[in-house]
Chain A
Amino acid sequence: MSNTTEHTVKAFDDDIGELRALVSEMGGLAETAIGDAIHALIRYDLETAARVVEQDDRIDELEAEVERHAVRLIALRAPLADDLREAVAAMKIATVIERIGDYAKNIAKRVPVFEHRVEIEPLSILPAMAQIVSEMVHNVLDAFAARDAEKAKEVIERDEAVDDFYNSLFRALLTYMMENSHNITQSTHLLFIAKNLERVGDHATNIAEMVHFAATGEYLDDRVDVSETFAPEPEEDS
C-alpha cells in the first residue's frame, strides 16, 4: 500500500490530491450534465433540463476553486517538473470542463423548444452521437484520474467519429428543413445542439491532450484539426 512517488513534504501530496479531486468532481458534474441534458431532450423532461441549468453554477464555483487552489499551490510550493505540469494541467482542464458544462446547459435550455414535437427523423441520430461524446468525456476523466496517457490517446482517436456524426446530421437536418419549412425552428435548434455536442467532443480531445502532457511531459504532435467542422465540405464533383 505504499505510494511510490511520495514527496517528503506530505502536505504537498495532500494539496495536489485535493486539486485533482476538485477537477474530478467538476468532471463528474459535467459528465452528468451532458448525459442529463440529452435525456431531457429525448424525453422532453423539463425538470431535468432545469436541474442541468441550475447545476452549472456549481461547476463554475468549482472552477474558481480549482484556480485558487492551483495558484496557491504554485505560489507556495513552487512545484517543478511533473508536479508543475500537474498543477498547470489541472487548471487548464478545469477551464475546459467548465466549457463542457456550458454546452450541456445550452442544450438543456433548448429543451422547452421541443414541446410540440413533430417526428423529426434526425432526432434519433442525436442520442447515438451524444453517447459517443459522453463516453469520450467519461473516458478522458478516467484517464485523468489514473494518469493514463494511453487511454487519453484513445479518446482523441474517437473524435473523428463525432465529426462524422455531426456532418451527417448536418446534411440530414438541412434536407429536412428544405422539405418541411414549418419545422425550421426545431431543426435549427437541433443543429445547434449537434454543434454543441461536437464541441464537447473537441473539448474532450483537448483534455486528453493535457492529460497526456501531464502524464508524460510530451505534447502530442498531431494537433491538426480534423477537417474543420463548422459545415460539411462541399463535394467536389457537384
Chain B
Amino acid sequence: MAEITPPRAIVALLTLFGLGWAGYAAGAPPLGLALGCLGGAVFGAILLWRPAPERPEPEPQAAPEPPEEALFPTLEELMNAIDDPSLLVIGRRVVRANPAAQALLGTHIIGQDVRLAIRHPAAAERLIGDTKDDESRIAIELVGIGERERPWELVIHELKNNTRFVRLADRSGTQAAEKMRVDFVANASHELRTPLASLLGYIETLQDGAAKDKKTRNRFLEVMHGEASRMQRLIGDLMSLSRIEAERFRPPAETIELGPLIDEACQATCATLGTDLAQIRIESADKSVAIAGDRVQIAQLVSNLVGNALKYSPEESPVTVAYESVSETMVRLVIEDRGEGISPEHLPRLTERFYRVDPGRSRSMGGTGLGLAIVKHIVERHRGRLNIESEPGVGTRVIVHLPKNPPTLSSARNESVTKADAPSLVAMRDSR
C-alpha cells in the first residue's frame, strides 16, 4: 500500500489543479471544466493509491526529493544510542538527557539548570561559562556524581549557539585497579615493616648487653627466628600470588589425580603445623577423581585451606576433606571443620588480601593474611568456584568447585571473573 506522504499529496493536488487550469485555458465550458477537475481528482486519487516504485516522474518544481537529513536518526534516537550518560545543554538549561543520564542524575533534570544536574564545583564553571572558541573539548576528572566516590570523566563539547554536549565516561574500572594496587603496596609494606621493626628492636637490645645472659639471648633469638620466618613466609606468599595472577589467563592443562595430591598436601601441612595427621579425615565417594589443574597450585590450595581449618579449630576436633565428582565437568572439594566459625559480616571480605577477622591472633599463629587470597586466585585461574559457609560456634565449610577438563572460555569472560576482587561468597546460616 502506498502511504499518503506530503510529496505525493502535492503531486496529486498539482495534477488536479493543472488539469483544471488546462481546461480553463482552452476555454472549455463550465461542464467540461468540472469534468476536467473531476478527472484530475480521479487521476490524483489513482496517483495516490499507486504503490511507490511505480510512481511516475514527479514534476520537477512541485515535488523535490525528500531531504537527505530525513534519512538520519533524530537527535533523540542518537542520544539514546549513547551508553554513557549524556546531556545536551543550551545556555544553562538541560534540554535533552539520554536514559543513562536520567538513570544516573534523575529524571527531573530535563528543563532544569545544569548545575542542579551536576553540582560538582570543578564542572560548574565550565558548564555555565561563556563558550570559548579555543577550547572545543574539555575533559575533567570528577568524583561523586550520582553515587558518591564514583569517578567519572566529564567531557564537554562546545557546539555552536551556546550549546554544549556533555558526556560522562565511567572511570571506576581504572580507578579501582589503581586503588587496589596502592592499597596492596601499602598493606604489603606495613606487613613487612612490623616483623622488621621487632627484629631491629631485639638486635638493638642484644647489642646493648642482653647478649651476655644466655637465657635471655636464646629467648630473643627464638623470637627473632620467628619474625624472620614470618617475613620469609610473607614474601613467599606474595610471590606465589603474583605468579598465579600472571598466569590467570592461561588455564592449566595438566591432568592431575586429586586423591594422592590431597594426601600429600595434608601430610605436608600437618608436618609444618606439628599436628597429628589423624585429625584430618579424607573422604571420597569416587575412587579416582582427576581435574585439569596445576599440581603445585592445587597442593597450595589444599594446604592453605586445611591449614586454616586446623588452626581455627580446637585440638582433637576433626577436619574433613571430601572430594567427589559432582557432574560431567565439575569436581567438588569440601573442607569442613568444627571450629569456632566466622560471623557473617566478615565472610564477604575474607578473600581480600591482608583482611583478618582477628589481626592479632592471625599474626600470632603465623598467618600472613594472604592464604585465602591465594586460594581465591588459584580457584579463579582454574575457572572454578569458591564458596565459604560458616556459622559461629558450629564450624566452617569451604567448598571449591574445580573443572575436570580444560574449559574453553573467552578472555572477556575471564576478565569478568577476575576483575572484581569481591569473590562469590555465600553467607549461609544453618536453619538448625
**Interface of A toward B, CB cutoff 8 Å:** 1, 3, 17-18, 20-22, 24-25, 27-29, 31-32, 35, 55, 58, 131, 134-135, 138, 141-142, 145-148
Contacts and interface: CB of A to CB of B under 8 A. Distances in A.
B373 interface: no
Question: Mostly helix, strand, loop or mixed at chain B's interface?
Answer: mixed
Contacts of A32: 120-122, 144
Contact of A142 (B96, B106, B111, B124): B106
A25 B126 CA distance: 12
A106 to B, nearest CB: 19
A21 B121 contact: no
A83 B112 CA distance: 15
Given A21-B92, A24-B115, A25-B119, A31 B106 contact: no
Q: Looking at chain B, what size class is its interface with the partner chain?
A: 20 to 34
Given A1-B110, A32-B120, A32-B121, A25 B115 contact: yes
Given A3-B111, A31-B144, A145-B106, A25 B121 contact: yes
A145 B119 contact: yes
A147 B108 CA distance: 9
Contact of A134 (B93, B109, B148): B148
Contacts of B95: 1
Interface string B91-133: 0110110000000001011111111111111101000000000
A28 B120 contact: yes
B121 A20 contact: no
A145 B108 contact: yes
Contacts of A142: 106
Contacts of A141: 119
21 contacts: A1-B95, A1-B96, A1-B111, A17-B112, A17-B116, A20-B112, A21-B116, A24-B115, A25-B119, A25-B124, A28-B115, A28-B119, A31-B119, A32-B121, A32-B144, A55-B121, A145-B106, A145-B109, A145-B119, A146-B106, A146-B108
A142 B286 CA distance: 59
Contacts of A146: 106, 108
A28 B113 CA distance: 14
A20 B113 CA distance: 8
A152 B153 CA distance: 28
B108 A17 contact: no
Contacts of B116: 17, 20-21, 24, 145
Contacts of A27: 119
A25 B127 CA distance: 11
A28 B121 contact: yes
Nearest to B107: A146
A142 B117 CA distance: 9
Given A35-B144, A146-B106, A28 B124 contact: yes
Contact of B121 (A22, A29, A131): A29
Given A28-B121, A145-B106, A147-B108, A22 B144 contact: no
Contacts of B113: 17-18, 20-21, 24
A109 to B, nearest CB: 19
Of B112, B113, B116, the most chain A CB neighbours within 10 A belong to: B116
Contacts of A31: 119, 144
B112 A145 contact: yes
A20 B116 CA distance: 7
A161 to B, nearest CB: 15
B374 to A, nearest CB: 26
Contacts of B93: 17
Contacts of B143: 35
Contacts of A25: 115, 119, 121, 124
Given A17-B112, A24-B119, 6 more contacts: A18-B92, A24-B115, A29-B121, A31-B144, A35-B143, A141-B119
A176 B210 CA distance: 32
Nearest first, the 7 A-B pairs at minimum CB distance are: A28-B119, A21-B113, A21-B115, A24-B119, A145-B116, A146-B108, A29-B121
Instruction: Specify which of A135, A141, A146 lies most central, judged by the most chain B CB atoms within 10 Å of its CB.
Output: A146
B152 to A, nearest CB: 14
